[in-house]
């Protein structure tokens, strides 16, 4: 792992990374997160009778839209031509909540990790927005990158990674 941050130039100033010389490769990223909620809130979500309508469908669309607009939200991110964004929302009883995943794909010169993480984050925020009238105590947990593939650094998986300084 490089000890130099790629978004900081020799003067210590923030910059967009020049990817002109990078190879165009197929790239994917998978991210996840979890929205914890009261069991009653989960039951309302599952029933399809939430006050604001189709909670899961709205959160799925919000996540997809967010992935496509990541470069507008996160400074220095490159605008990418995404070839696929799949957001999955899986209600779970134990613990009560919704497991959110996003898989993002492109063929290009830079990765899609930020797009996958942004998709998950915005889908979680949308779940909160759609259900806050009945449960303001909801919380988000475990938003993280699970896997990435492609590019110069190759494949990476959270299952095999070690964290330094944790």
Q: Which residues belong to the active site?
A: 129
**3-state secondary structure at position 113:** helix
The Cα angle at residue 145 between residues 58 and 61, in degrees rounded to 5: 10
**3-state secondary structure at position 147:** strand
Rounded Cα distance, 97 and 89, in Å? 10
For residue 159, what are the β-bridge partners?
A: none
Instruction: Show Cβ contacts of residue 16 under 8 Å, excluding neighbours closer than 6 positions.
Output: 7, 76, 78
Give the pairing type, strands 139-149 and 25-36: antiparallel
Q: CB burial class (10 A; 0-12, 13-18, 19+) of residue 88?
A: middle
């Amino acid at each position: 792992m490089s000890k130099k941050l790629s978004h900081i130039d020799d003067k210590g100033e923030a910059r967009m990374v020049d990817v002109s010389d990078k190879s165009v490769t197929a790239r994917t990223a998978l991210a996840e997160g979890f929205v914890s909620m009261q069991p009653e809130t989960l039951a309302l979500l599952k029933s399809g009778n939430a006050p604001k309508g189709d909670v899961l469908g709205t959160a799925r669309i919000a996540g997809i839209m967010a992935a496509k607009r990541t470069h507008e939200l996160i400074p220095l991110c490159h605008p990418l031509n995404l070839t696929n964004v799949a957001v999955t929302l899986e209600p779970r009883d134990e613990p009560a909540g919704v497991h959110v995943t996003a898989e993002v794909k492109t063929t290009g010169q830079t990765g899609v990790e930020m797009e996958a993480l942004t998709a998950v984050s915005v889908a979680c925020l949308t779940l909160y927005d759609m259900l806050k009238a009945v449960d303001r105590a909801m919380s988000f947990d475990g938003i993280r990158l699970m896997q990435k593939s492609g590019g110069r650094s190759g494949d990476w998986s959270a299952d095999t990674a070690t964290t330094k300084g944790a």
